[in-house]
Amino acid sequence: MRRATPGEGGSLRGLARWRADQRYALGEAKQTLGKQPLATGLIMITLALALLLPAALGRVLGLLEANIGTWPTTPKINVFFAAEVPPGPLLQRWRAHPDIADLRVQTAQASAEEFQAALGVGSALGKRFGAAPFPPLPSVVVVTPREDAQAPARVKALAEALEQEAGTLGVQVDLAWVLRLRGALEVFSMLLYTFQGLLATAALLLVGTVTRMALLERLPALRTLQLLGATNGFLLAPFIYQALAYGLGGGFMAGLGLLVLEGALSPALTALASAYALPLTPNASAASSFLFLLASGLALAFLGALLAGLWVLRRFESGLEQTS
């Protein structure tokens, strides 16, 4: 019985033929990979490293970014001034400042009462504090910068401007460390994206070069097949499957590596967060990270092999026309 030839038969026959071609391509790829297990393993490991490095850094970054979102991140500037300075004129002037969203005055008396309450009004320490002849704490204006002025540099500039005001004893930026961390993370994430792009390009080039070399090695055979009527898809399919195997292996190794790294880093990160009395919850499940790495490996390998394959075949096609 004869199966469908091009232009003949229905879609079922076409599907049967497609399946036969894929089986052939898979067999060819399997045979090639089996002939060079060491080279295959090394390519997979290189791909795994190219995937794992940015993935691990991205995971840490994602974890911090996700958790910082749950931490109090609106910076406050505490401006201390002497108890005898009336806050009215200061407040009037500051309200007009374009970077200030809100002002809240806490008098020296209120601060003292709050502190005394914290010490315990009935306690010996609290009684002693309450018996002080003058308010021991300065008055404070709590300044909340506008939302669009909460970048570390703007907050710092505002704090410095407030510090220059007459009567100001000092300025303290609350949550300064969060702002610094956020700034650092912004830089870090930009570096990470660059790093990810570079390593993805490296992975593409790696698979592309391997595919190109494999194609060039088989060029006489490909020429024969093309003269017999093989399509570009038929010619490329074994090489694409070969590349997908690299991607699958590389992605799998990278996924495993990430799980191991997470297990090793988790206690240290939790300890770091607890040092600031902050919660640290995972931003993504281990399974989704694993699947993402697998998919990335497959996608990069497929793209690398396809681009290299089409490039070689296009050049080869003009050669075929000249040499056959």
Partner 1 sequence: MIHLSQVGKRYGDRDALRGVDLTLPKGSLSFLMGPSGAGKSTLLRLLLALERPDAGRIEVAGLDLGRLPRRQRPAYLRRVGAVFQDPQLLMDRSVFHNVALPLQLAGYAAAEQGPRVRAALTQVGLAGAEGRSPRTLSTGERQRVGIARALVHRPALVLADEPTGNLDPTLSAEIMGLFQRFQKVGVTVVIATHDVDLAGRFPAQALYLEGGRLTAGAAPGAGV
2 binds partner 1 (CB under 8 A): yes
The rounded distance, in Å, linking the Cα atoms of 127 and 146 is 40
Closest CA to 214 of 248, 238, 234: 238
Tokens of 25: 């391509």
39 binds partner 1 (CB under 8 A): no
Which one, 4 or 176, has the nearer CB to partner 1? Answer: 4
In three-state secondary structure terms, 288 is: helix
* CB 5 to partner 1: min, Å: 5
DSSP classification of residue 284: S
Of the candidate residues 234, 252, 302, 311, the single one contacting partner 1 (CB under 8 A): 234
324 binds partner 1 (CB under 8 A): yes
For strand 168-174 and strand 100-106, is the pairing parallel, antiparallel, or unpaired? Answer: unpaired
**Cα distances (angstroms) measured from residue 157 to each of 56, 125, 162:** 35, 38, 9
Q: Which helix (H) or strand (E) holds 207?
A: helix 176-217
> Which window, 4-12, 80-88, 160-168, 184-192, contacts partner 1 (CB under 8 A)?
4-12
The rounded distance, in Å, linking the Cα atoms of 105 and 88 is 10
Q: Which helix (H) or strand (E) holds 172?
A: strand 168-174
228 binds partner 1 (CB under 8 A): yes
> Which window, 106-114, 205-213, 225-233, 288-296, contacts partner 1 (CB under 8 A)?
225-233
The contact mask relative to partner 1 for 14-33 (x = CB under 8 A, - = no) is: ---x--x---x---------
216 binds partner 1 (CB under 8 A): no
288 binds partner 1 (CB under 8 A): no
* CB 212 to partner 1: min, Å: 20
311 binds partner 1 (CB under 8 A): no
320 binds partner 1 (CB under 8 A): yes
The contact mask relative to partner 1 for 164-203 (x = CB under 8 A, - = no) is: ----------------------------------------
Distance, C-alpha 73 to centroid of its chain: 20
The dihedral built from the CA positions of residue 310, 315, 316 and 317, taken in this order, carries a sign that is: positive
Residues in touch with partner 1 (CB under 8 A): 1-7, 13, 17, 20, 24, 220-221, 223-231, 234, 320-321, 324
